């Protein structure tokens, strides 16, 4: 289509049309065509309201609504020709509607602007992503709950600084991620509730003199209420920023778990075996099985966090109300949403398919003097020693075991009594890793009974 086409929307002093560079920088149809379904839903609700309020004739509104369904069908079946000259999804849809139904199409834009139209479309799209993310998170959490329940009493090392700290259970470790993703789920729900106000009817920035019914359009589109300030309605992108912020935190959690799966699936750890469906072989080393899915999940945080920073940067200097800068809001959000959903789906699949190697977990749990804290606690609880003294005695016993090349439970009672004479044989009751985890019965602790209680609680929460 030429720059002088009658379909150019500018008119007036812009009648000659922008040159090729201006057209390229100004057009957003290359990416905002993803808003087609939301744009048409918003326009159909707007048309119904225009008829209900007597602003347009019922026959015109009916023609608009039917014509819009035809446009949607053409887009969904791939039979719609998008035009860069028409700039964006809104003008592409309206131009096609005019070709289909003629003069009534020109009445569709009564009482609204592209400013409130795009804000509404984008909100509807982000709301769909929040709903999708909630479903994906709930599914991933269910997969983690299954792993936790199966291994509620399987011992493994707990780490701080990636150094062996105290024994925990496999179930407890899985439940830590349930808590993390549970907070992500909560953030998605909060964001959805907060953003669910309808911008439609705010018009360009000041509202409209037409007697529109904003409650009607808000309700038709599933919003809780219309937005209360027209300036804010067209210039707000908090809903997108909040989605990106929640997505960034969620991606960070996915990345942390992915990092653990990379480490755990290594030959040095052998904590888990990942399925072939989520691993790849080496092109040159036949013995290798690479955790590529986990590594790619780990990398996704860069794209998603980058999108968050990019949109923050776009919005930070904009005076009220709308500025063309805000056209840069969508590509970042589209990319972040795509990659978050892909990462969630991949992690869900990995968790459902992976096998925890119980024997390797137990072997590692019993190494690295993991029950040293239990020994110190015993000295305090049974002998009544101050914790600092107990800590010192335990350190001496660890050094003795290290010199002998054994673990704490392998020291003899005589060796222990050489460090503190009051130590008796009951100390061995706390030195086994099974005894250690079983004793951690405080709320939220690693004891199998506590793990099972948390599994039951989350099953009830998730329904």
List residues with catalytic annotation: 161, 282
Query: In the beta sheet, which residues pair with residue 133?
Result: none
At residue 22's C-alpha, the angle toward residues 20 and 26, to 5°, is: 120
How long is the chain?
A: 463
Cα(193)–Cα(412) distance, rounded to whole angstroms? 62
Encoded tokens for 439: 């004793």
Cα(271)–Cα(268) distance, rounded to whole angstroms? 9
Encoded tokens for 35: 């808003």
C-alpha atoms less than 13 angstroms from C-alpha of 287 in its C-beta half-sphere: 2
Cα(57)–Cα(309) distance, rounded to whole angstroms? 46
How large is the C-alpha radius of gyration of the chain?
Answer: 31
In this structure, how many other beta carbons lie within 10 angstroms of the beta carbon of residue 151? Answer: 21
Residues of 156-175 as b/e, b for ≥16 C-beta within 10 angstroms? Answer: bbbbeeeebbbbbbbbbbbb
- Cβ-in-10-Å burial (0-12, 13-18, 19+) of 24 comes to exposed
C-alpha atoms less than 13 angstroms from C-alpha of 87 in its C-beta half-sphere: 15
Encoded tokens for 110: 């009564």
Pick from 201, 199, 241, 247: which is nearest to 223 by CA?
199
Q: Where are the alpha helices (DSSP H) in 265-329?
A: 292-315
Q: Is the dihedral of CA 106, 107, 108, 111 positive or negative?
A: positive
Q: How is residue 282 annotated by DSSP? A: -
Cα(121)–Cα(200) distance, rounded to whole angstroms? 9
* Residue 266, C-beta contacts closer than 8 angstroms, at least 6 positions apart: none
Query: In the beta sheet, which residues pair with residue 156?
Result: 168
Encoded tokens for 173: 């470790």
* Residue 296, C-beta contacts closer than 8 angstroms, at least 6 positions apart: 343, 346
């Amino acid at each position: 289509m030429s720059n002088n086409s009658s379909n150019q929307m500018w008119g007036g002093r812009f009648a000659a049309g922008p040159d090729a560079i201006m057209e390229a920088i100004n057009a957003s149809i290359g990416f905002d065509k993803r808003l087609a379904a939301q744009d048409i839903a918003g326009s159909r609700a707007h048309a119904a309201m225009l008829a209900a309020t007597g602003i347009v004739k019922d026959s015109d509104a009916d023609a608009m609504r039917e014509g819009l369904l035809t446009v949607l069908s053409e887009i969904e079946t791939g039979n719609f020709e998008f035009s860069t000259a028409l700039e964006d999804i809104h003008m592409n849809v309206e131009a096609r509607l005019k070709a289909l139904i003629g003069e009534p199409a020109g009445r569709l834009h009564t009482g609204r602007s592209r400013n409130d139209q795009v804000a509404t479309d984008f909100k509807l799209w982000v709301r769909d992503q929040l709903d999708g993310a909630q479903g994906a998170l709930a599914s991933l959490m269910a997969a983690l709950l299954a792993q936790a329940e199966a291994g509620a009493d399987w011992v493994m090392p707990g780490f701080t600084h990636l150094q062996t700290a105290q024994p925990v259970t496999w179930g407890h470790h899985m439940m830590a991620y349930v808590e993390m993703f549970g907070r992500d789920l909560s953030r998605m729900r909060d964001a959805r509730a907060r953003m669910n106000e309808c911008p439609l009817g705010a018009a360009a920035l000041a509202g409209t003199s037409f007697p529109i019914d904003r409650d009607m359009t808000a309700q038709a589109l599933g919003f809780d209420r219309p937005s209360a300030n027209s300036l804010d309605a067209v210039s707000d992108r908090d809903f997108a920023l909040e989605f990106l912020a929640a997505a960034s935190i969620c991606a960070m959690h996915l990345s942390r778990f992915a990092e653990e799966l990379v480490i755990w699936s290594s030959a040095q750890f052998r904590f888990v075996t990942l399925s072939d469906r989520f691993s790849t072989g080496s092109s040159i080393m036949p013995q290798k099985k690479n955790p590529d899915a986990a590594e790619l999940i780990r990398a996704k945080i860069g794209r998603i966090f980058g999108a968050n920073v990019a949109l923050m940067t776009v919005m930070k200097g904009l005076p009220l109300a709308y500025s063309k800068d805000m056209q840069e809001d969508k590509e970042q959000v589209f990319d972040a949403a795509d990659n978050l959903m892909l990462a969630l789906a991949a992690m869900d699949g990995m968790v459902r398919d992976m096998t925890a190697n119980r024997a390797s977990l137990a072997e590692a749990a019993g190494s690295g003097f993991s029950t040293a804290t239990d020994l110190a606690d015993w000295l305090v609880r049974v002998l009544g020693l101050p914790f600092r003294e107990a800590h010192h005695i335990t350190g001496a016993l660890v050094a003795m075991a290290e010199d002998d090349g054994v673990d704490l439970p392998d020291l003899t009672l005589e060796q222990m009594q050489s460090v503190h004479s009051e130590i008796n044989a009951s100390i061995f009751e706390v030195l086994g890793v099974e005894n250690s985890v079983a004793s951690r019965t405080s709320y939220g602790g690693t004891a199998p009974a506590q793990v099972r209680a948390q599994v039951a609680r989350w099953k009830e929460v998730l329904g």
